[in-house]
A and B are shown apart, each in its own frame.
Chain A
Amino acid sequence: MTWQGWLQIAAVLLAVLVIIKPLGLYMARVFAGDRTPLSPVLAPVETGFYRLAGVDPRREQGWFAYAIGVLAFSLAGFLLLYAMLRLQAYLPFNPQGFGALAPDLAFNTAASFVTNTNWQAYGGETTMSHFSQMAGLTVQNFVSGATGIAVAIAVTRAFARSGVKELGNFWVDLTRATLYVLLPMAIIVALAFVALGLPQTLDGAMAATTLEGASQTIALGPVASQEAIKQLGTNGGGFFNVNAAHPFENPNAFSNYLNIFSMLSISAALVYAFGQIVGSRRQAWALLSAMAILLVTGIGIVYWAETAGNPIHLALGVDPALGNMEGKEVRFGQAMTALYAGVTTGISNGGVNAMMSSLTPLGGLVPMFLMQLGEILPGGVGSGLYAMLVFSILAVFIAGLMVGRTPELLGKKIEAREIKLAMLAVLLLPTAILGFSSVAAMLPAGLAGLASAGPHGLSEILYAYTSAAANNGSAFGGLSANSPWYNTTLGLAMLAGRFAYIVPVLAIAGALATKPRVAPSSGTFPTHGPLFVGLLIGIILILGGLQFFPALALGPILEHVLMLAGQTF
């Protein structure tokens, strides 16, 4: 570890810290329906949309109608994308003449993009036509992110309101999230990416002659635009197979900063918007502090583990100053790789600028663990906020009892119904991750995809299901996931991880919205101090992480102790 490395990490995180407030306030205005600087241009477009779709923007929905809206919209998106991928050969903008995707891969990919996971069981530049990338995947990159934001806003309103059933109108929130937040920011970031050297073209591959005289096909396409929304919408699905390690997706240090900055900014700012809407900015800072502490710790461990390197390599005389450089890009180095790995899994992005599989065992453990916590640091756009609120509800419930009152979060009493739904949501990750992993580790179909034996192989399986169920989408590397078994089970894990979480969360919101907001007194447990932050971290680690400890012990931890003993896989 070097101070320059930490300085880079600090600089990027500081830049995010600066944008949290203005962006958060802007989003709070957008979802309140207030006028914003962009209104003169976008308001007519927005009303045009509503008129076209027959939506009355003033009519609000209860939690059930809202949830139905989310599910119906996602189902339609899923079917459309599935059809598009299956019919790829007959659709335009296909300069390389790619054929249709196999049914299981099309299912997996459609599920992946609709759930904001962007798990890619295929190599983008050798599978997808420009049409599929732009009209299929990129569209979902926008609307799946916008769906997450909408749900988070609905939950936020539940805390802000009292004695009502309505949480807002899903169609309006979806439209506003896309039109006022994601689209303008994507345009700015895409232009910045172009300036930094990312290609943006509708041409297909280029044939080039290398210095040695060999000919090489260099894939091109609308990379910058897809890259922008990939990061802003915490999607993570790269244009190229190797994602942000590819020089066209992430050519230099500055593009790398911008990548990380755009991944974090909306998720973090949404927490601020939450504080603004519920009228407690201090609550927002408390949530952000808990997120930041866990995230920075995770990044620190990756950075430390990677710079410490592999003792087996060091024993062979490899320069210890570089640490473990396997699978990393020299243009990013250890610090920016650690930051990218921590952030991409702390949020629900899943893009990578290095191969996770090549990290040291402990370095690889951290991204896996951050996903298993539920991607709340600060998580996917929207999804991070509502998952963090579920943990807050549980933390307040357990700790709140210790002050001798029925627990309250922001004046809303937390009772049996909320706890039931929160536990239902919390149950989802262990069920999907451990259940599928356990079965895959015993079935020949599961074992067939492994590239390594021993604990590293187990890590490959665990990582895949963790990434899918948590809707992250990053790949450990190594696992050949494009098989009917993995395509199907990972697809199911993704769908469950998204929608079996959103429905109970919206039900909690429905229950909270009807409750009166209790005025705080000195007997109320304050939820915005360092005490709450510490408690929240403890609850996240114990309720969110502890159940994965046995699995992690057999995967990365075992691999680590075996590595120290000189054994590799």
Chain B
Amino acid sequence: MSSKTLSPSVLAPAILFPALRDALVKLDPRQLVRNPVIFVTEVVAAFVTLLWLLEMSGGTGAPAFSGQIAAWLWFTVLFANFAEAVAEGRGKAQAESLKRGKADLIAKKLLFPGQPGNNGCEIVPAASLRVGDIVLVETGDLIPGDGEVVAGLASVNESAITGESAPVIRESGGDRSAVTGGTEVISDWLRIRITTKPGESFVDRMIGLIEGAKRQKTPNEIALSILLSGLTLIFLIAVVSLYGLALYSGSDLSLAVLAALLVTLIPTTIGGLLSAIGIAGMDRLIRFNVIATSGRAVEAAGDVDTLLLDKTGTITFGNRMASEFLPVDGVSEVSLAEAVLLASLADETAEGRSIVALAKADFGLTEPRIVGNGTTTIPFSATTRISGIDIEGRQIRKGAIDAVLAFAGISRDTAPREFLAAVDKVARSGGTPLGVADSGRLLGVIHLKDVVKPGIKERFAALRAMGIRTVMVTGDNPVTAAAIASEAGVDDFLAEATPEQKLDFIRREQTGGRLIAMCGDGTNDAPALAQADVGVAMQSGTQAAREAGNMVDLDSSPTKLIEIVEIGKQILMTRGSLTTFSIANDVAKYFAIIPALFLATYPELGVLNVMGLASPQSAILSAVIFNALIIVVLIPLALRGVKYRPVGAAALLRRNLLVYGLGGLIAPFVGIKLVDMAVSALNLI
């Protein structure tokens, strides 16, 4: 699946023509009954068609009028079906390519999985694999199914799933042990234990999701459907009862006219676009390289109150970096920098490299050549916690404060106050102090700190504007955590966090009525991912994490949550805006149709014909045509979604209410008038 490329346009023939066909297929009442508003429209359309046929055969009434009404009622249904078909069509092409890749997968199933060697395997179709089977995948093979690496290490090209062509490393144990069916091993080999049943793999889920086959209405969609059905019922009562009231008033209303009134009043606009909005929203998510297991999770993302983010790798770069040299005891900053540069030259750790980089960048030092006999490098070890170099008679060491003090033969009590003060300063700012000593003399302190990723503060500010609190989770001590939290601009932090504490934190927030989103990749994140309302697992993570979450981010980017939240909000906003628009439209439709209904009996009611529509019949026909066309006009908006702006709820509501509420009041007055002018000009009536 290629991603982040431009989505195919609605008018692309590849989507347009199948969608037109699907729109007809969807006329099947058994399918349509899922959408009550459009189903009612179809029933009414069939009814008016019947009236038209009777009028045609009996030579009574006005068949030209009822025929046109019937035609436009059918168009209303077809346009609604078309909207849904277009929304589905965009995903179908992607699903097809995934299916093709999956069709001819084969597996090398190990016959003797208990033995260490990779001898003896049979070639079986991937579809016959069962949970627990062990398969061998070698260079050039496609991985036959989702699973866990039990042995081996290989680089895997996962572009078929993620669209990212750079290969990733997969190995047994740890957090990089999950593999996905359909990806390709490009070097070395892996032994994989299959963990999913055929038909339920990641690719299968993706296909199902993209095709919309397993699409179920989300809770909010259900609630909105109920509202729309209720409105339909209310207008049904209003229209049916009007027959009796009109009869009293001396006008025998034709059934075609009443049918037209009913369909224009019931919320066909939102009813017709409702499912397209949901499908398009999921599609947008897929184009952001996020796979959600259910629409419910996407909708919940729009409601998220608190975002739980791991510090390492998300908020900060994974490694601590040197940010400052603090000399003591009369040592100049430059000579301290020279000393640590020497001591770190052979240090290949990220911290060591950052020290070299800082010394070069801030003090303009060049890398000295350190060839010579008297030169020995002392590598870092976990037991000594110290590293350094013996060069030209100097013994330069850097490392943990206690270890450096011990090396210099100084106890903490006798250490220079200046040195201890520097250590304390670094610790209090949330950094890690490294002591530096030359033989028995303390030279100073290196300030190592977590470096916050650039731009992250702005993203958190955007989240705050959305009303979402960010909470940083870290294993650091509270002092360090607080310092980084304030630098990154998160709202709160959870220090010295264990997986249990993470889970407790989520439960506590949920009891307070808040919705929690988090992302994680490790197996120990799995319980928290499962507990969170929105759990985004990284594609690079373990199988356990991927199964616990309700979304998988193929790019494995923790800040992707922000986009997910936006898409969730967009879906709800688009529904709300189009519902408001649809309901507000009714005012104009009443003014078009009511005077038209009774003009023959009471010409005085012509004062209500504020639009000055040509004739009663053209007024009714124009309202019906407008009602059908507005669905088509709004399809692009339904597919694209109403734009979300992180400006706070009140400002957002004011804007949308103005555009879709006020716009919904005014637009049909203009629209119906224009259609009426066209209808009169074309002499349709």
Contacts and interface: CB of A to CB of B under 8 A. Distances in A.
Contacts of A423: 226-227, 229-231, 233
Interface in B368-401: none
Interface stretch (A5-13, A124-132, A188-196, A411-419): A411-419
Interface in B648-668: 648-650, 652-654, 656-657, 660-661
Chain B residues touching A, range: 35 or more
Contact of B572 (A401, A418, A438): A401
B513 A402 contact: no
B594 to A, nearest CB: 5
A447 B229 CA distance: 33
A547 B238 contact: yes
Contacts of A430: 234, 237-238, 241
Interface in A399-445: 399-406, 411, 414-416, 418-420, 423-424, 426-427, 430-431, 434-435, 437-439, 441-442
Interface stretch (B48-56, B464-472, B675-683): B464-472
A519 B241 contact: no
Contacts of B223: 397, 414-416, 418-419
A404 B644 contact: yes
Contacts of A416: 219, 222-223, 226
Contact of A565 (B235, B247, B604): B604
Contact of A518 (B513, B584, B649): B513
Given A441-B244, A517-B513, A542-B586, A531 B605 contact: no
B607 A531 contact: no
Interface residues of A, number: 67
Interface string A526-569: 10010100010010001100111111011001100110110000
Most chain A CB atoms below 10 A, which of B469, B576, B597: B576
B513 A558 contact: no
B243 A438 contact: yes
Contacts of B238: 430, 434, 547-548, 550-551
Interface stretch (B31-39, B298-306, B326-334, B442-450): B298-306
A209 interface: no
A525 interface: yes
Interface string B572-595: 110111011001101100100011
Nearest to B247: A442
A77 interface: no
B272 interface: no
A398 B583 contact: yes
Contact of B577 (A402, A431, A441): A402
A424 B234 CA distance: 10
B531 interface: no
Contacts of A521: 305, 467-469
B249 interface: yes
B608 interface: yes
A192 to B, nearest CB: 43
B230 to A, nearest CB: 3
Contacts of B230: 419-420, 423-424, 426-427
B242 interface: yes
Nearest to B575: A401
B7 to A, nearest CB: 21
Contacts of B233: 423, 427
B223 to A, nearest CB: 4
A546 B586 contact: yes
A435 to B, nearest CB: 6
A441 B222 contact: no
Nearest to A550: B242
Given A426-B230, A531-B654, A557-B605, A400 B576 contact: yes
Contact of A438 (B241, B598, B653): B241
A94 interface: no
Contacts of A434: 237-238, 241-242, 245
B653 A547 contact: no
A523 interface: yes
Contacts of A546: 586-587, 590
B468 A523 contact: yes
Given A414-B223, A521-B467, A404 B249 contact: no
A442 B244 contact: yes
A394 interface: yes
B90 interface: no
Interface in B454-478: 464-469
A458 B248 contact: yes
A533 B154 CA distance: 63
A402 B464 contact: no
A398 B249 contact: no
B502 interface: no
Which 5 A-B pairs give the minimum distances between C-beta atoms? A523-B467, A401-B576, A404-B569, A423-B230, A438-B244
5 contacts: A402-B576, A523-B648, A554-B246, A561-B602, A562-B604
Given A399-B580, A403-B573, A403-B649, 11 more contacts: A406-B302, A415-B220, A423-B227, A423-B231, A437-B244, A438-B242, A439-B244, A442-B248, A521-B468, A546-B586, A551-B242
